[in-house]
């Protein structure tokens, strides 16, 4: 199983990533082992979407990082948060 996940950073911004081991990846973020989130701790898992394939998870991650994908995050996935 592959996951596309959304983290809320300490600065209020969101981080979108994908992985095949969500628990491990969250631990890496929380321990400051991910360069892009290292200086914005603590992180909170806001949402994740499970996929059967890596391609689907990576494509969703890529889409959610676009301007239209960010709009979908705000309106559909995290309406009360973003």
For the stretch 65-79, pLDDT in tens is 999 999 999 899 888
Cis? peptide before 15, omega within 30° of 0: no
- C-alpha closest to that of 2 among 42, 45, 41, 54: 54
Helix (H, G, I), strand (E, B) or coil at 5: strand
CATH number at residue 8: 3.40.1440.10
Q: Decide if 73 is inside a domain.
A: yes
| Domain assignment of residue 64, yes or no | yes
pLDDT at residue number 80: 78
Q: What is the pLDDT of residues 16-28, one digit of tens each?
A: 999 999 999 999 9
Structural domain contains residue 82: no
The pLDDT of residue 81:
67
Range of the domain at 12: 2-77
- Structural domain contains residue 35: yes
């Amino acid at each position: 199983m592959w996951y596309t996940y959304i983290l809320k950073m300490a600065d209020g911004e969101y981080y979108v990533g994908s992985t095949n081991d969500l628990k491990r990846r969250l631990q890496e973020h929380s321990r400051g082992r991910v360069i892009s989130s290292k200086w914005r701790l603590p992180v909170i898992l806001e949402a994740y979407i499970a996929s059967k394939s890596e391609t689907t998870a990576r494509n969703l991650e890529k889409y959610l990082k676009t301007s239209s994908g960010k709009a979908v995050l705000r309106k559909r996935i995290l309406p009360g948060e973003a």
